[in-house]
């Protein structure tokens, strides 16, 4: 029998990360992470992803979100991370990059799928594996998100992960276009990839 969410949360490694997050993040952000954790673990079961890896990716995806813009840029410098032009101009794209470093150095995560999921959770990526796709959708769709698109994406995510990824990328792009801000190429590539030879095209 599979572990319950309560058992997963009671694992010493989960407790260590959850403690760090509750100390560092705002209460609202912490509740968001717990909600992402619940949805990611549930979707992992549905789509045949390793549940423990899903738990780690979800818990750690916003682990650098407490840092100020200044701290994020100084961490980028310290790690010698090369930013692309869109990342350079948009500090909200930095926390996934530093989240990967925290996962490796502070929480000794070694699984590439987990690190990739953390890395891709904001922009998406056309080469996302199933765990990355699950986290990308869950971050957008978890139930503490109040916009109506979250409920749509959540429903889609159980029926077709592919369609859910398409919907999230499309909604994000429409939102960013409306705001008139930069769109990361990975989000556009994610959107395009979900249309290539898929049933969504019609």
Tell me which residues touch Fe ion (CB under 5 A): 62, 139
Rounded to the nearest whole angstrom, what is the least distance from the CB of residue 29 to Fe ion in the complex? 8
- Secondary structure letter of residue 92 according to DSSP: G
Rounded to the nearest whole angstrom, what is the least distance from the CB of residue 118 to Fe ion in the complex? 9
Q: Closer to Fe ion by CB, 87 or 139: give it.
A: 139
Q: In which element (H, E) is residue 6 found?
A: helix 5-9
The DSSP code sequence of 118-146 is HHHTTT--TT--HHHHHHHHHHHH-TT--
| Spatial CA neighbour of 187 closest among 202, 201, 199, 175 | 175
Q: Closer to Fe ion by CB, 14 or 37: give it.
A: 37
Greatest pairwise CA separation for the chain in angstroms: 49
Rounded to the nearest whole angstrom, what is the least distance from the CB of residue 59 to Fe ion in the complex? 11
Rounded to 10 degrees, what is the CA torsion of 12, 14, 20, 22? Answer: -120
Q: Closer to Fe ion by CB, 62 or 75: give it.
A: 62
Q: Closer to Fe ion by CB, 27 or 199: give it.
A: 27
Rounded to the nearest whole angstrom, what is the least distance from the CB of residue 64 to Fe ion in the complex? 9
Tokens of 117: 């999921």
């Amino acid at each position: 029998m599979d572990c319950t969410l309560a058992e997963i949360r009671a694992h010493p490694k989960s407790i260590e990360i959850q403690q760090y997050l509750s100390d560092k993040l705002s209460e609202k952000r912490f509740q968001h992470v717990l909600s992402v954790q619940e949805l990611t673990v549930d979707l992992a079961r549905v789509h045949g992803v390793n549940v423990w890896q899903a738990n780690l990716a979800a818990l750690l995806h916003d682990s650098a979100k407490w840092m100020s813009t200044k701290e994020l840029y100084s961490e980028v410098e310290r790690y010698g991370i090369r930013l692309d032009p869109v990342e350079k101009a948009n500090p909200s794209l930095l926390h996934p990059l530093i989240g990967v470093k925290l996962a490796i150095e502070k929480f000794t995560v070694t699984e590439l799928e987990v690190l990739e999921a953390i890395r891709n959770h904001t922009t998406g990526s056309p080469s996302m594996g199933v765990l990355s796709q699950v986290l990308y959708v869950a971050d957008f769709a978890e139930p503490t998100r109040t916009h109506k698109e979250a409920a749509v994406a959540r429903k889609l995510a159980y029926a077709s992960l592919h369609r859910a990824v398409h919907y999230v990328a499309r909604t994000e792009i429409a939102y960013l276009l409306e705001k008139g801000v930069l769109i990361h190429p990975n989000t556009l590539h994610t959107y395009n990839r979900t249309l290539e030879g898929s049933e969504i095209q019609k």
